[in-house]
Amino acid sequence: MPVSLRVGFAGTPDFAAAILEALLDSRHQVVCVYTQPDRPAGRGRKPQPSPVKLLAERHGLPVHQPERLKSEESRAALVEARLDVLVVAAYGLILPREVLEIARLGALNVHASLLPRWRGAAPIQRAIEAGDTESGVTIMAMDEGLDTGDMLLERRVAIDAQTTGGALHDALAVLGAEAIVSALDTLADDPARLPPRPQPAQGVTYAAKLSKAQARLDFDQPAERLAAKVRAFNPWPVAWAELDGEPLRIWAAEAEPQDASQAAPGTLLESDGESLRIACASGQLRVLRAQLPGGKPLALRELLNSRAGRFLPGKRFAPLEPSA
């Protein structure tokens, strides 16, 4: 008869909820859930439960939301649960050694990159932004470092010229869910089939947290780099540029390597009824979908039909200040 593990789970956003859902559908038993405290969100700024909390409550699971895990009281539920393993996915808190050692088989992390590339907070978006052609998930035995633990399992997926941050997020959530269940099955049946492997010393990169300020486009960069940034930051924080003193959020764009205009970077070159072309340090950025303040994201065809005067050739997007 297959062995079932007692699992504790710690996670917060949609990515983590997909992992939890797979665990709930597996042969293993989720006995307690940790997630971030309810945070203000939306126009009313009312406290909102995390996707993991909502899912856990629908399944009648006990939910714990400590601000930190430094006190014995905050860790009590994990101790009392007599865990075989703790599964962590995008939890948002650093786990102290006392937590990592609670479960009999330790703590496993579902990390959304092929480690050691893109350790840290935003591996999905940083991979696209950097022009990577491949991403994946790594099941990692957690230690006290920032995503430095030994690797147990990985799954890979291609990144192409249409892959957005949202699309890669969804693909990795599916892969991560499959991978963690596979890892737990193997640990329960025959741990020797899943030997931990230290991460390579070469190829380490860090995925810094995203911010709206970082989403501003710098047209003194090549068009290909800007197009990658537009895709990476869709659906959040969404790439933008300043025109006539207002932000224009850019949801979809392509890079065209040729630019014979010799116009200054950031100059609007032309609108063909379907797109805008903007001069870059090299090449042109062809904007296909954008959003004006107070409006909805629109295909450029629709935006130009109503606001063509805002996008006359020769206008120039504001350059970034040197300190930006």
* Ranges assigned E (strand) in the chain: 6-11, 29-34, 39-41, 46-48, 63-64, 85-89, 107-111, 119-120, 134-141, 150-158, 206-207, 239-243, 246-256, 268-271, 276-279, 284-291, 298-299
How would DSSP label each residue in 133-190?
SEEEEEEEE--SSSS-SEEEEEEEEE--TT--HHHHHHHHHHHHHHHHHHHHHHHHH-
113 is in an annotated binding site: yes
Q: Which residues contact 321 (CB under 8 A, 6 or more apart)?
A: none
Name the nearest CA neighbour of 89 among 171, 155, 33.
Answer: 33
- Tally Cβ neighbours within 10 Å of residue 185: 18
62-75 burial, b if ≥16 CB within 10 A, otherwise e? ebbbbeebeeeebb
Q: Residue 136: left if φ>0, alpha if ψ -120 to 50, beta else—which one?
A: left
Cis preceding linkage at 237, omega within 30:
yes
114 is in an annotated binding site: yes
Beta pairing partners, 207: 120
Annotated binding site: 113-116
Annotated binding site for (6S)-5,6,7,8-tetrahydrofolate: 113-116
